Amino acid sequence: MRRATGARVEARGLGLRTGRGPVYQDVDLDAAPGSLTAVRAERGCGRTSLLLTLAGRMRPTSGSLRVDGHALPHRARLVRRIAALGVSEGVNDLDDRLRVREHLRERLHLRMRPARGALTGAALESAGLAESDGRRLVRDLSTLERRRLGVALALLEEPRLLLVDDLDLGLGPDHQRDLWRTLRDLADDGPTIVTACADTTASEDVAPAVVELRRPPARTADEETAAAEDTEPLEPLPSHRAPSHYVPAHRAPSRGLLSLSLRGRSHPREEGSAPPVPTPRRGEGRLPDHAPLRPPRPRGGHVRTLQPDTGPRPPRHARPDTEPVEEGR
C-alpha cells in the first residue's frame, strides 16, 4: 500500500453553532504530518462533529481551519480527497448482514479511481486483521475487530489524514493499548491520525498529543428566546394539484385534457351572481413559479374527459326530427 506524507492540520478558535446552541467552540489543534493526536472529550461534546469538520464534511461557523494548506470550508472538496473517516456510529456504520470481504469490495468501488490488487491485503495487515477470514459476517466480529475493520476500510482510500472516532468505546484497557499501538505504527509510516475518545489512559505507551474538548455552556433563557424569535417558519411544500378553477369538460380543448384557467379568463354569469374569483398568475398568490399550466399527460394511455351530467342522451347517429307531427295523423 502506498504511504503518502501526512497532511498538516491547523485549527484556531474553531467552532460550530446551530440553532440549538454551540456544538463545540474555541478548538485549537495543531497536528504535524505523521503525528498521532487524541481529542479527549465525553460523548455529547461534539467530538464526532469536530472529526467531520476536519474531514471537510461539516461546515464550521467560526474560527479558521487549514488541512494540508487548504482553507476550509472553501476547499472542502480537495480535503475530502485526502481525508478518510473510520467507522463512526450514526455516520457510516457497518452492515451486520454483510461479510468482511463484501465491505472491502464495496469500499473499493467507492474510491472512484483504480486500485491495485494487493491494496486490500495491505490495508488489512496494517489494521491488524492480516489473519482475518473475509467470509465472516460482520455481526460475528468482536468490538476490537469491528474497530480494526473500520480502520482498514479507511486505509483503502490511501488517505493522508485518518480520523478514528470512539476509539475506546466498548473496549477494555488491553484492547485499547493494542489499538493505540496499531495507530502509532500507521502514523509512523506516513498519514496524520486524529482520534476521538473519552479516556486516554491506555495511550501512555504511544504518547499522543492530547486536545481537550470541553462541553459548551448551556444557553440562557434570553438566548433561547432570541433563537426562537429568529427561527423562521418552514414554508409548505409547493402543491402541484390543479386549482379548483378550471374550464368545464365541454369547453376543454382537444386531446382530452382539462384546461386550467390560470390566466384569469372570465366566463359568462347570470345577473346577481357573485363575480368569479380571479386566479393568480405565475409568481403571484399561492401558485409557485414552477407550477405547471396544465396537468401532465400520462404516458401510454388516453385521458378520458369528464363530461357534465345532463341526463339521458339520444343515440349518437340518430337523426333529429325536423318536421312537426300533426294531431290525428
Domain assignment present for residue 95? The answer is: yes
Q: With pLDDT > 90 as the criterion, what percentage of the chain qualifies? A: 48
Specify the pLDDT at position 5: 83
Specify the pLDDT at position 299: 60
Specify the pLDDT at position 177: 94
Domain assignment present for residue 255? The answer is: no
Q: Which domain holds residue 90?
A: 9-218
Domain assignment present for residue 154? The answer is: yes
Domain assignment present for residue 149? The answer is: yes
**Helix segments in 62-172, DSSP class H:** 76-82, 100-109, 119-126, 143-155
Q: pLDDT by residue (tens digit) across 63-118?
A: 999 999 999 999 999 999 999 999 998 898 999 999 999 999 998 888 767 777 68
Closest by alpha carbon to 289, among 257, 262, 261?
262
Specify the pLDDT at position 50: 95
Domain assignment present for residue 238? The answer is: no
Q: pLDDT by residue (tens digit) across 182-223?
A: 999 999 988 999 999 999 999 988 888 999 998 877 656 565
Domain assignment present for residue 152? The answer is: yes
Question: Which three cell numbers mark 190?
Answer: 506516513
Residue 204 is part of a domain; what is its CATH number? 3.40.50.300
Q: With pLDDT > 70 as the criterion, what percentage of the chain qualifies? A: 64
Domain assignment present for residue 309? The answer is: no
* Structural domains counted in the chain: 1
Give the torsion through C-alpha atoms of 183, 184, 185, 186, to 10 deg. Answer: 50
Per-residue exposure over 123-153, b if at least 16 CB sit within 10 Å of its own CB, e if not: bbbbbbbeebeeeeebeebeebbbbbbbbbb
Domain assignment present for residue 20? The answer is: yes
